[in-house]
């Protein structure tokens, strides 16, 4: 049987404050056990992060981020469940070159940088020298400020959100290549929910093909996000957005739609149901 034309990235949050599962896997042994579960469900990549990137999140010092993620990375890689040629790969979700370097030394092979190499001037050179893959994401400002960045009370504003995101990702990809990162190592992420309004998120999903046209694999991360809570509540006639425990149907729907529009990498909390939905979508679309 041939490999599917998509990959699933399982979320391993080693944080006390992530919006969907903050604190559930803060203990290293719990995080490693969760990684085992994600692999059992079919995760192709395990994305380990020690700093929350939810709206309003506060920065985490380097020492603390290392303290959180290194035991988890070492536990995953020592177990043999990830890192080999035929097994899931390990990604480090960080914008700090020191943390990325330690993760790569431990056996990670992908750096998922939500700042798109802007937060740390050493990151591009590290990625280039290591030859690892990287994911460059669009975000205005930083997690602490992204939902108000340049937008005042109305939130983030764009002339045209898709044109602006596409231009940003094009520029960051060109920057990475100038710094020695091989283009074939780059994945692009439009940053759903990062410095975007409800309408911006829907527009990006609707016109995702324009991001795919940049020619690199596109990662989509809609899993359990707030705009899905609002959409589901609106559909049910409920006045308040539904909580994260009821957002799986929206996660599945947006990932299937993103796949149909050309995305090929999906960062999710719930691997098994999303993988099943994508299998059906792939068979239907041929």
Q: What CATH code is carried by the domain that includes residue 65?
A: 3.20.20.20
Please name the residues in contact with 89: beta carbons below 8 A apart, sequence gap of 6 or more: 44, 45, 46, 82, 83, 108, 109, 110
Tens-digit pLDDT string for the chain (286 aa): 578 899 999 999 998 855 454 455 668 899 999 999 999 999 999 999 999 887 777 889 999 999 999 999 999 998 887 765 557 999 999 999 999 999 999 999 999 999 999 999 999 999 999 999 999 999 986 665 555 544 444 578 899 999 999 999 999 999 999 999 999 999 999 999 999 999 999 999 999 999 999 999 999 999 999 999 999 999 999 999 999 999 999 999 999 999 999 999 999 999 999 999 999 999 999 8
pLDDT at 60: 92
pLDDT at 19: 47
Assess contact for 133 and 109: CB atoms under 8 A. yes
> What is the number of domains present in the chain?
1
The two structure tokens encoding residue 190: 């439009």
Task: Please give the Cα distance from 53 to 44 (Å, whole number).
Answer: 22
Phi, psi of 267 (to 5 degrees): -95, 115
Does 151 fall in a domain? yes
pLDDT at 21: 47
pLDDT at 2: 72
Does 173 fall in a domain? yes
Does 126 fall in a domain? yes
Please name the residues in contact with 179: beta carbons below 8 A apart, sequence gap of 6 or more: 117, 124, 125, 128
Phi, psi of 91 (to 5 degrees): -115, 145
Does 233 fall in a domain? no
The two structure tokens encoding residue 151: 């937008």
Does 141 fall in a domain? yes
Q: What domain range is 26 assigned to? A: 7-221+248-285
pLDDT at 84: 59
Task: Please give the Cα distance from 11 to 14 (Å, whole number).
Answer: 10
Hey, which residues are catalytic here?
225, 267
SS3 219: strand
User: Whole-model pTM above 0.85?
Assistant: yes
Assess contact for 138 and 165: CB atoms under 8 A. yes
Does 57 fall in a domain? yes
Does 194 fall in a domain? yes
């Amino acid at each position: 049987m041939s490999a599917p034309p998509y990959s699933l990235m399982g979320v391993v949050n080693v944080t006390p404050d992530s919006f969907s599962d903050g604190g559930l896997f803060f203990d290293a042994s719990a995080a490693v056990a969760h990684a085992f579960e994600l692999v059992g469900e079919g995760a192709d990549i395990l994305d380990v992060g020690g700093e929350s990137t939810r709206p309003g999140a506060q920065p985490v010092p380097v020492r603390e981020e290392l303290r959180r993620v290194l035991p988890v990375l070492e536990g995953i890689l020592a177990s043999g469940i990830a890192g080999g040629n035929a097994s899931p790969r390990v990604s480090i979700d960080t914008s700090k070159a020191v943390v990325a370097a330690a993760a790569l030394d431990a056996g990670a092979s992908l750096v998922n940088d939500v700042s798109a190499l802007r937060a740390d001037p050493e990151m591009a050179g590290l990625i280039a020298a290591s030859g690892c893959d990287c994911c460059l994401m669009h975000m205005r400002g930083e997690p602490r400020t992204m939902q108000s960045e340049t937008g005042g009370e109305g939130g983030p504003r764009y002339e045209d959100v898709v044109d602006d995101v596409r231009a940003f990702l094009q520029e960051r990809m060109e920057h990475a290549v100038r710094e020695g990162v091989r283009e074939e190592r780059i994945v692009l992420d439009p940053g759903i929910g990062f410095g975007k309004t409800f309408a911006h998120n829907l527009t990006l999903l609707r016109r995702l093909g324009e991001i795919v046209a940049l020619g690199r694999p596109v990662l989509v991360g809609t899993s359990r996000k707030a705009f899905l809570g609002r959409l589901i509540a609106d559909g049910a006639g409920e006045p308040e957005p539904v909580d994260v425990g009821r957002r799986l149907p929206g996660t599945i729907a947006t990932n299937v739609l993103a796949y149909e529009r050309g995305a090929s990498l999906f960062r999710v909390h719930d691997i098994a149901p999303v993988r099943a939905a994508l299998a059906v979508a792939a068979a239907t679309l041929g």
